[in-house]
Amino acid sequence: MPDYHDDLRLAHVLADAADAATMARFKALDLKVETKPDMTPVSEADKHAEELIRGHLHRARPRDAILGEEYGIEGTGPRRWVIDPIDGTKNYVRGVPVWATLISLMEAGENGFQPVVGVVSAPALSRRWWAAKGAGAFSGRSLTSATRLHVSKVERVADSSFAYSSLSGWEEQGRLDGFMDLTRACWRTRGYGDFWPYMMVAEGSVDICAEPELSLWDMAANAIIVQEAGGQFTSLDGVSGPGGGNAAASNGLLHHELLGYLNQRY
């Protein structure tokens, strides 16, 4: 199996640069915020963080392609860095500390591009999570000061904690009834949103989570971290990995039931 240690170290360097840039503008009174064509917000901090990451990658990995939320795709080849400079921009612009920079390296294989390295850095929460293929998932302050992550061992939906982002997307897709049935069947539900539920699945503090509509940069880093912590990350159709346009993540033991609820349509 390839050794991705150098790529993981680079991803931490990229996250350090992004953290410094985003924290410098967090809660700034003069923060500039625009509305993109899809009606989602983008701040000057989103753009600056992605520019910084791209600049580092151009110097350190000039042959690798880059896909980012704000500036799209550049380059070709079997290795592609995928960047979400601020996952949770709506939180960021309102001063809510639940946001993170998501950085992933994906490699081409038999089943298309799949993540092999992922870093999720949430500096306003003083938290960072990471993983590399075959090397496990971790959380901590640095590569040398970290705790290995493991998903929970909860075996029944009735005993599970379910995290989600919002209700509107499920309703738009005709999946709201199944979603609501799942919330009634679970022990506990919370709308943490964005990257955080996936990290809690990896940590074992949440057992299942799902979102009905996502982009690749929202999922790539989360997927490898959940998988390396022993969990499952698929589309709602059950296809493994972050390429399906939506996501379901679990400790693995509850995944079949999770998909069953969320694929109910009336």
Is position 43 within any domain? yes
Does 69 carry a binding-site annotation? yes
Is position 37 within any domain? yes
Does 159 carry a binding-site annotation? no
Say yes or no: 18 and 133 in one domain.
Answer: yes
Q: Residue 88's pLDDT is what?
A: 92
Q: Residue 224's pLDDT is what?
A: 98
Is position 221 within any domain? yes
Q: Of 146, 168, 194, which one is at a domain's C-terminal end?
A: 146
Q: Flag whether pLDDT at 91 surpasses 80.
A: yes
Say yes or no: 106 and 217 in one domain.
Answer: no
pLDDT bin (cut points 50, 70, 90) of residue 36 is low
Say yes or no: 50 and 169 in one domain.
Answer: no
Q: Residue 38's pLDDT is what?
A: 63
Average pLDDT over the chain, rounded to an integer: 93
Say yes or no: 137 and 27 in one domain.
Answer: yes
Is position 152 within any domain? no
pLDDT tens digit sequence for 218-254:
999 999 999 999 999 999 999 999 999 999 999 999 9
Which residues constitute the domain of residue 224?
Answer: 157-263
Q: Of 113, 146, 179, which one is at a domain's C-terminal end?
A: 146
Average pLDDT over residues 135-163: 94
Say yes or no: 98 and 163 in one domain.
Answer: no
Whole-model pTM: value is 0.94
Q: Under a CB-based contact definition with an 8 Å cutoff, are residues 80 and 64 in contact?
A: yes
Does 30 carry a binding-site annotation? no
Say yes or no: 170 and 215 in one domain.
Answer: yes
Q: Residue 166's pLDDT is what?
A: 83
CATH code of residue 91: 3.30.540.10
Say yes or no: 120 and 58 in one domain.
Answer: yes
pLDDT bin (cut points 50, 70, 90) of residue 58 is very high
- Give the 3-state DSSP-derived string for the chain, with helices as H, strands as E and coil as C: CCCCHHHHHHHHHHHHHHHHHHHHHCCCCCCCEEECCCCCEEEHHHHHHHHHHHHHHHHHCCCCEEEECCCEEECCCCEEEEEEEEECHHHHHHCCCCCEEEEEEEEEECCEEEEEEEEEEEHHHCEEEEEECCCEEEEEEECCEEEECCCCCCCCHHHCEEECCCCHHHHHCCCHHHHHHHHHHCCEEECCCCCHHHHHHHHCCCCEEEECCCCHHHHHHHHHHHHHCCCEEECCCCCECCCCCCEEEECCCCHHHHHHHHCCCC
Q: Residue 37's pLDDT is what?
A: 65
Say yes or no: 33 and 142 in one domain.
Answer: yes
The count of domains in the chain is 2
Say yes or no: 96 and 190 in one domain.
Answer: no
Does 86 carry a binding-site annotation? yes
Is position 23 within any domain? yes
Is position 151 within any domain? no
- Name the nearest CA neighbour of 50 among 14, 77, 23, 76: 14
Say yes or no: 197 and 130 in one domain.
Answer: no
Say yes or no: 19 and 78 in one domain.
Answer: yes
pLDDT tens digit sequence for 182-192:
999 999 999 98
Say yes or no: 134 and 162 in one domain.
Answer: no
Per cent of the chain over pLDDT 70 is 97
User: Any residues with CB less than 8 A from the CB of 234 and at least 6 apart, and which?
Assistant: 240, 241, 244, 247, 248, 249, 255, 259
Is position 229 within any domain? yes
Q: Of 146, 180, 202, which one is at a domain's C-terminal end?
A: 146
Task: Output the CA angle 146-3-106, nearest 5 degrees.
Answer: 90
Is position 53 within any domain? yes
pLDDT tens digit sequence for 193-219:
899 999 999 999 999 999 999 999 999
Does 224 carry a binding-site annotation? no
